[in-house]
Amino acid sequence: MITLLHNYWMRTESFQFECFSADMFSSSKLKHSTSDSADKNGVKNRLKKFITRRPSMKTLQEKGLIKDRVFGCHLLTLCEREGTTVPRFVQICLDAVDKRGLDVDGIYRVSGNLATIQKLRFIVDQEEDLDLDHSQWEDVHVVTGALKMFFRELPEPLFPFRFFQSFVEAVKIKESKHKIQAVKKLIQELPKPNHDTMKLLFSHLHRVLGFSRKNLMSTQGIGIVFGPTLMWPELDTGNMAVNMVYQNQIVEFILIESQEIFNLDRK
């Protein structure tokens, strides 16, 4: 009898202890859950206040704390912002090369120091004034490297996507006169910033060719450099090698016939 009572007491105590432990665990868990929830809400509230207090991008731009970038900006957007039809950076670079780089061996083919090019890019994106006559830009290959980078980083190339296939078809034309007419017509249909920038660039590259005996650059060499820099298809069709051949040929042909296509003065 005593043994039975003892066993009953032990089971009862064990059950009460387990219930007590479960209640304690549940209470502790609830406290932690409530605490975690409060912490999360606190973080959210602080983040919301920070975002609310943070000045808008427009305000920062108006105060001059943030400048609209040049590299990676759409050509039309950049020209509208500057009130030009040719980006100022392109004009400055071409002027610098005209001034001290036309007779430099491998101009546009030779790569400049990448770190210095990136430094120039950063300054262009952050500052209004740029003096390429400064000694830190004395290597003209840095200037040409930055110019090529500018064109490569355009969201849409100088030869707009919708014109890519039309230029390819035009350059396939066998008869030279008809080919010139077809390419010239396409260029005249380009948006004005694309047309004017292209005209200025090819006029400059034509001057580069005038020093070919010294700089050792040919129409083919310039085509290889600028073909994939100035035009590429919007979608990768897996024909990169074929496209590159046409890209080079188009740039080379426009360069050879630039006086006729852009109505340049013959000297």
What tens-digit pLDDT sequence spans the chain (267 residues)?
A: 444 444 444 444 444 444 444 444 444 444 555 566 666 677 777 766 665 665 554 454 444 445 689 999 999 999 999 999 999 999 999 999 999 999 999 999 999 999 999 999 999 999 778 999 999 999 999 999 999 999 999 999 999 999 999 999 999 999 999 999 999 999 999 999 999 999 999 999 999 999 999 999 999 999 999 999 999 999 877 788 888 999 999 999 999 999 999 988 765
- Residue 239: the pLDDT is 81
> Which pTM value belongs to this model?
0.75
The token pair at 98 is 């005209």
Helix (H, G, I), strand (E, B) or coil at 258: helix
Locus of tokens 């059950």: 15
pLDDT of residue 41: 72
Q: To which H or E segment does residue 121 belong?
A: helix 114-126
SS3 for 15-38, per residue?
A: HHHHHHHHHHHHHHHHHHHHHHHH
HEC sequence for 216-253: CCCHHHHHHHHHHHHCCCCCCCCCHHHHHHHHHHHHHH
Q: What is the largest CA-CA distance in the chain?
A: 128
